[in-house]
Amino acid sequence: MQQKRNIQIIEWEDLDKRKFYSFGVFMTMTIRATVYPATLIRTRLQVQRGKSLYNGTFDAFFKILRAEGIRGLYRGFMVNSFTLISGQAYITTYELVRKYVSQYTKDNTVKSLVAGGSASLVAQSITIPIDVVSQQLMMQGQGEHLSRFRLSSDTTKPKKVFGQTRNIMAQIFAADGFRGFYRGYFASLLTYIPNSAVWWPFYHFYAEQLSILAPSDCPHLILQGMAGPLAAATASTVTNPMDVVRARIQVEGRTSVMETFRQLIKEEGFWGLTKGLSARIISSTPTAIVMVVGYEALKKLSLRPELVDSRHW
């Protein structure tokens, strides 16, 4: 059914699924590689005590670059790339839940909120073990004193593929068992489900408002590319306090969300809840632009042939 808005939304049933997944893997990998350095910096900023290591996002960037080189900004990237699986699970869940909810309501905000939250739940269940390992790898180098685990001397040289990863995984399992790979699961859900649930409604809201203000001949893709970063900044600001707690739980080996939250407030005050926010917004802005432009272009490229001529962009 036609949406009552200026920007047409391509729904799940409009897509050629083979094209959608083929292009989707490439798009997701491109996004991961683009924003990974900012993700690594955000993690180190969130875990450090006060400004013991870095004074801010740009200070962290230049210090890591000088001390560890480009490779330092990509510590744990190969492990993190396995989140490609969760990325595909996310977009599939999002589209399928939107389709299901459409049977009960035509309100796009409701559909986006429910679908975004559900997609995040599925994706995080796959992502958490990958995040736990990759975050420990991120902390090596300048941030290794902030981590519970250290790389043994025989894995510091890249002699074996994933040698460092196996070393960290063995230490996590020895310390916490299988549960160690799901440390911070509850905190992650409290971070990413609201983040996703907030992002999609705001994305469609900003896109709709921009389409009203923009000239009638302005391409929809430009408006969507502007709406994505606005939605990302909004969602990041709202959910950053929980993201700080999540990072500390996973890196420091804590178990209690409330205890971690209280200690953070006690040590650093409420400003501690904003740690890594600028890095998060900096990473989420290009992510949002690439994701929105890429995702909307992906859907257009994946549109079933018989529908191409009926769509006007």
Contact 115, 101 (CB under 8 A): yes
249 near 183, Cβ under 8 Å? yes
Inter-residue contact 235 to 202 (CB < 8 Å): yes
Query: What pLDDT is stored for residue 63 in this prediction?
Result: 92
Give the model's pLDDT for residue 62.
Answer: 93
- Check residues 242 and 153 and name the one with the higher pLDDT: 242
Q: For position 2, what pLDDT does the model report? A: 39
Would you say residue 313 lies in a domain?
no
Structure token digits, residue 159: 């002699």
Report whether pLDDT(232) > 60: yes
The pLDDT of residue 4 is 42
CA angle 27, 103, 225 (to 5 degrees): 30
Is the pLDDT assigned to residue 138 strictly greater than 80?
yes
Comparing CA positions, the residue from 283, 118, 83 lying closest to residue 200 is 118
DSSP class of 15: B
Structural domain includes residue 33: yes
pLDDT tens, 45-84?
888 887 888 888 889 999 999 999 999 899 889 888 888 8
Structure tokens at 152: 């043994």
pLDDT band at residue 5 using 50, 70 and 90 as cut-offs: very low
- Taking the CA atoms of residue 184, residue 44, residue 191 and residue 260 in that order, the dihedral angle to the nearest 10 degrees is 60
pLDDT at position 312 over 70: no
CATH number, domain with residue 87: 1.50.40.10
pLDDT digits (tens, 9 = 90+) for 8-27: 677 777 777 777 787 778 77
Helix, strand, coil in percent for the chain, rounding step 5: 80, 0, 20
Tell me the torsion sign for CA atoms 43, 46, 47, 49: positive
Name the average pLDDT for the chain.
82
Q: Contact, 124 vs 83, CB < 8 A?
A: no
Confidence of residue 231 (pLDDT cuts 50, 70, 90): very high
Residues of the chain above pLDDT 90, percent = 10
Domain span at residue 228 reads: 12-304
Statement: residue 87 has pLDDT above 90: no
How many domains does the chain contain in total? 1
Q: Is residue 263 part of a domain?
A: yes
pTM reported for the whole predicted model: 0.66
Residue 108 lies in a domain: yes
CA 44 to CA 247: how far, in whole Å? 9
Calculate the dihedral angle through the C-alpha atoms of 181, 187, 193, 198, rounding to the nearest 10 degrees.
-140
- Look at the alpha carbons of 117, 118, 119, 122 in this order and tell me if their dihedral is positive or negative: positive
Ranked by mean pLDDT, the top range of 59-68, 102-111, 140-149 is 59-68
pLDDT tens for each residue of 167-185: 888 988 988 888 888 888 8
Structure tokens at 173: 């399992």
Work out the widest C-alpha separation in the chain, in whole angstroms. 62
Domain membership of residue 153 (yes or no) is yes
Q: Does residue 87 belong to any structural domain of this protein? A: yes
- Identify residue 14 by its one-letter amino acid code: D
In a domain, 311, yes or no: no
Judged by DSSP in three states, 303 sits in strand
Q: Which letter does DSSP use for residue 2 in this model? A: -
Residue 182 maps to a domain:
yes
For residue 155, what pLDDT is reported?
Answer: 44
Under 8 Å CB-to-CB from 256, ≥6 apart: which residues? Answer: none
CA angle 63, 69, 73 (to 5 degrees): 80
Mind listing the pLDDT tens digit for each residue in 160-171?
A: 546 788 888 898
